[in-house]
Amino acid sequence: MMALSLLPAFEWLQHTYLGETIRHSAALIALLEIVHLIGLALLLGTILMVDLSLLGFGIGRQPVHRIASELNSWTKAGLAIMLISGPLILSSEAVKCYKTPAFWVKMALLAIAIAFYFTIHRRVTLAEQPASRSSQTFVAIASLALWIGVALAGKGIAIFQPV
Amino acid sequence: MFLLSICQWVDSTRLNAFLRQSNWAFPTLDTVHTLGIVLVAGTIMLVDLRLLGLGLRSVPIAQLVARIVPATWWGFGFMLASGGLLFSSEAVKMYHSPAFRIKVVLLALAGLNALIFHRTIYRDAAAWDPASVAPFRARLAGLLSLVFWIAIIAAGRAIAYAPGYDLG
């Protein structure tokens, strides 16, 4: 299995100066989790607005592409905040994460969600010509399911014990 | 002290015993609570950013508020219900937690800020709403709201980490 070969990398990460420093400071871990949550709020809040617009619950008569293009940079800001704070939190408990299935579920969902966001989601939401009703609905539901899945799996890392 | 005796009573109820003994109740409530606060903060931040002129500038604020506030209330409902139950599972501990007290005060301040905004400057929104930059008092309300909600998230996390949590 490919995943097995990653254990040394996770062990190395945890034993770096950065990982050790964060692990031994409850204040730093708490701070990083706060930043991570704020990033998530920004990401999910903006994605929710765009996906609700796709589902027909838009803001007044604003076209989807206008809402999407105005929120685009905030979604990316939220994602950037999470992608910086996330690996730092990971470095403090890398081996535990390696042994927790919820972590791998989260990484898989995250990879799919990011790929989906930067390809299909963007194409459908930013197009000035709206896509068909059914593809808009599909894209919105898939997007919401993926991102909420990422959040739930993230919570799962803290809840489920490593195996 | 009065509040302490209420917390002691809460800790003696069957609900408390159930929440403590169940393997799934606390993690489930914790997850609902986190998603609830993400929904509240995520939607409120959009209104705040719009008030500050940092996003959704072409969308009138009244339209944004009309669409987004129902989602905020849903999040708030989930947050309050799950938060109340989480509190019930360790009321005396929460009584002794400085972070919990700070969080309650911050929640009250965030509510007061929103109430004042809606009762005063927002009433005249029709006059200033088309402008991409809102008047000073509206921008101030947006900034305060951002600060309060970020602080509420911080205080919530601190409940689990800050010293004093285990003193109860």
Q: What pLDDT is attached to residue A37? A: 92
Q: Give the range among A64-68, B15-19, B164-168 with minimum mean pLDDT.
A: B164-168
**pLDDT, average across residues B27-46:** 92
Q: What angle do CA B168, B40, B166 make, to 5 degrees?
A: 10
Asked if pLDDT for residue A89 goes beyond 90, the answer is yes
Asked if pLDDT for residue A132 goes beyond 90, the answer is no
Rounded-to-integer distance, Cα B129 and Cα A10, Å: 52
How far CA B95 is from CA of B10, B79, B166, in Å, comes to 11, 19, 11
Residue B39 in tokens:
């929904």
Which sequence spans correspond to the domains of chain A? 3-159
Q: Is A82 in contact with A147 (CB distance < 8 Å)?
A: no
Name the more confident of B64 and A59.
B64
A1 CA: distance to closest CA in chain B (Å):
31
Rounded-to-integer distance, Cα A138 and Cα A143, Å: 8
Please name the residue of chain B whose CA is at the shortest distance from the CA of residue A70.
Answer: B56
Judge: B63–A62 Cβ closer than 8 Å, yes or no.
yes
Rounded-to-integer distance, Cα A161 and Cα A42, Å: 29
Asked if pLDDT for residue A2 goes beyond 70, the answer is no
Asked if pLDDT for residue B166 goes beyond 60, the answer is no
Asked if pLDDT for residue A46 goes beyond 60, the answer is yes
**pLDDT, average across residues B119-136:** 81
Q: Is A77 in contact with A117 (CB distance < 8 Å)?
A: no
What band does A119 get if pLDDT is binned at 50, 70 and 90? very high
Which sequence spans correspond to the domains of chain B? 2-161
Using an 8 Å CB-CB cutoff, list residues of chain A that contact chain B: 26-27, 29-30, 33-34, 37-38, 40-46, 48-49, 52, 57-60, 62, 66-67, 70-71, 73-74, 148, 151-152, 155, 159
User: Does the CA dihedral A99-A102-A107-A108 come out positive or negative?
Assistant: positive
Q: Which of B31, B33, B102, B152 to mutate to test the interface with A (most CBs of A within 10 A)?
A: B31
Q: What pLDDT is attached to residue B63? A: 86
User: Which residues on B lie below 8 Å from A55 (Cβ)?
Assistant: none
Contacts of B102 (CB under 8 A, 6+ apart): B155, B158
Q: Is B88 in contact with B15 (CB distance < 8 Å)?
A: yes
Rounded-to-integer distance, Cα A93 and Cα A4, Å: 17
**pLDDT, average across residues A94-123:** 95
**pLDDT, average across residues A90-99:** 94
What band does B35 get if pLDDT is binned at 50, 70 and 90? very high
A74 CA: distance to closest CA in chain B (Å):
8
Asked if pLDDT for residue A22 goes beyond 90, the answer is yes
Give a three-class secondary structure readout of chain B: CHHHHHHHHHHCCHHHHHHHHCCCHHHHHHHHHHHHHHHHHHHHHHHHHHHCCCCCCCCCHHHHHHHHHHHHHHHHHHHHHHHHHHHHCCHHHHHCCHHHHHHHHHHHHHHHHHHHHHHCHHHHHHHHCCCCCCCHHHHHHHHHHHHHHHHHHHHHHHHHHCCCCCCC
Judge: A66–B42 Cβ closer than 8 Å, yes or no.
no
Q: What pLDDT is attached to residue B90? A: 92
What band does B112 get if pLDDT is binned at 50, 70 and 90? very high
Q: What are B74-94's pLDDT values in tens digits? A: 999 999 999 999 999 999 999
Rounded-to-integer distance, Cα A32 and Cα A22, Å: 9
Name the residue facing B57 among A34, A70, A159 (closest C-beta).
Answer: A70
DSSP string covering chain A, please? -TGGGGHHHHHHHHHSHHHHHHHT-HHHHHHHHHHHHHHHHHHHHHHHHHHHHHTT--STT--HHHHHHHHHHHHHHHHHHHHHHHHHHHHHSHHHHHT-HHHHHHHHHHHHHHHHIIIIIHHHHH-SS---HHHHHHHHHHHHHHHHHHHHHHHHHHHSPP-
Please name the residue of chain A whose CA is at the shortest distance from the CA of residue B61.
Answer: A59
How far CA A54 is from CA of A45, A50, A67, A143, B108, in Å, comes to 14, 6, 10, 11, 34
Asked if pLDDT for residue B165 goes beyond 50, the answer is no
pTM to 2 decimals? 0.85
Contacts of B64 (CB under 8 A, 6+ apart): A59, B46, B47, B50, B56
Q: Is A77 in contact with A42 (CB distance < 8 Å)?
A: yes
Q: Highest mean pLDDT range out of A30-34, A140-144, B134-138?
A: A140-144
Asked if pLDDT for residue B19 goes beyond 90, the answer is yes
**pLDDT, average across residues A150-155:** 93
Q: Give the range among A26-30, A141-145, B124-128 with minimum mean pLDDT.
A: B124-128
Mean pLDDT of all residues belonging to chain B:
89
Q: What pLDDT is attached to residue B168? A: 36
What band does B55 get if pLDDT is binned at 50, 70 and 90? confident
Asked if pLDDT for residue B167 goes beyond 60, the answer is no
